Chains A and B, each alone.
Chain A
């Protein structure tokens, strides 16, 4: 699935991923392929991304909003 992490200053990450773990405001939540449409806010924490190549990368954020729709995840981070 496609993941975009956008901040007001720059586009941090954009690419194919197999799973994403987000620091949701009510606790961590993982998103895999074919997740139902979801809008949620993020708390301060790390966005853990497992790329299609199997590589794992962490992106620290100060909060934000996430939209999941049709295997496309958009993280509006701060």
Chain B
């Protein structure tokens, strides 16, 4: 028979666990809402930019820019997006797994990893040492302290510069795409060289625009923008997915703790009842012994 006091202690400790996990769940739910809002805010910009790019590139050969050169793949840069904090289920592990498989996929090339987020950085420090490129920053976890476009575009600019200078021949973004609060999809998206846009009939506009300064220059201006947007979208997606994952994980933890609590309370009451029955039996037995 379990000790009454022991069970009581366990109940108290599990009670405080429930409080913590349910509080974390609430916090994540609030942050998820904000993260989703950020994605919704960005969407019109991204769509408009894509539309403009479609309008422009339908008449121009877009494969001649610096960012669309297909080269032999000797050096690959993976940009991985993880979270800074744990307790979010398989969120970070999925990213790490995907990074590992990608590294094997490009085994004939040099693979470097640029980590956004503390958890991936920790993995990177263990596995990707020594880095072939010492210019890769290792403090990108601070991006999540103040997540905005200009912070993320600095990272994009860095990657674009490396690609243009020939440091890397291919850049791939690995991130968790936010599908809904319970589901995240690990995505590996080619960042550079730019994949040619899919030509659809609706892309070609019938309107005669005035272009200033010239079509070509406008395209050269828009392409870096759309690349930055692509990375920003990935980071925002991952941020929303992180909170979704944490919310689900904490929800499950709360449920499990409640189940445990239910069982423990049952055991506690049974033990208490057994103790009382025992006591009564002893008293009755004692009284009977006196009378005899």
Say whether A associates with B: yes
Residues of A bordering B, CB below 8 Å = 6-11, 24-26, 29, 36-41, 65, 67, 69, 74, 76, 78
Query: Which residues of B are found within 8 Å of A78, using beta-carbon distances?
Result: 149-150, 225
Nearest residue, chain B, Cβ from A74: B48
Contacts of A26 in B (CB 8 A): 212-213
Rounded to whole Å, the gap between the CB of A65 and the closest CB of chain B is 6
Is B52 in contact with A67, judged by CB distance below 8 angstroms? Answer: yes
Task: Show 15 A/B contacts (Cβ-Cβ < 8 Å), sorted by A.
Answer: A6-B48, A7-B149, A9-B42, A38-B209, A38-B210, A38-B211, A38-B212, A39-B52, A39-B211, A41-B212, A65-B221, A67-B52, A67-B209, A76-B48, A78-B149
CB interface residues, B 221-243, toward A, < 8 Å: 221-222, 225, 229, 232
- A9–B49 touching, CB < 8 Å: no
Distance in angstroms between the alpha carbons of A41 and B55 in the assembled complex: 15
Q: Give residues in B with beta carbon < 8 Å to A.
A: 38, 41-42, 44-46, 48-49, 52, 55-56, 148-150, 207-213, 217-218, 221-222, 225, 229, 232
> Residue B212 contacts which of A6, A24, A76 (CB distance < 8 angstroms)?
A24
Closest A residue by C-beta to B228: A8
A40 touches B211 (CB 8 A): yes
Beyond A39-B52, A41-B217, A76-B225: 16 further Cβ-contacts under 8 Å?
Answer: A6-B45, A6-B48, A8-B232, A24-B212, A26-B212, A29-B212, A37-B207, A38-B210, A38-B212, A40-B211, A41-B222, A65-B218, A69-B207, A76-B52, A78-B149, A78-B225
| Inter-subunit contact A39/B209 (CB<8 Å) | yes
Interface class of chain B by DSSP: helix
The CA-CA distance from A40 to B229 in the complex, in Å, is: 19
How many angstroms from the CA of A51 to the CA of B280 in the assembled complex? Answer: 88
Complex: how many Å from CA A31 to CA B207? 18
B44 touches A9 (CB 8 A): no
Question: Residues of B contacting A74 with CB < 8 Å?
Answer: 48
B221 x A10 contact (CB < 8 A) = no
Known A37-B208, A40-B211; contact A8-B218, beta-carbon cutoff 8 A: no
Taken together as a complex, chains A and B put the C-alpha atoms of A10 and B44 apart, in Å, by 10
Question: Could you tell me the distance in whole angstroms from the C-beta of A63 to the nearest C-beta in chain B?
Answer: 8
Would A7 and B45 count as touching, CB distance under 8 A? yes
Q: Contact: B48 with A67, CB < 8 Å? A: yes
B209 to chain A, nearest CB (A): 5
Top 4 A-B residue pairs of the complex, sorted by shortest distance between their CB atoms: A8-B149, A40-B212, A38-B210, A41-B221
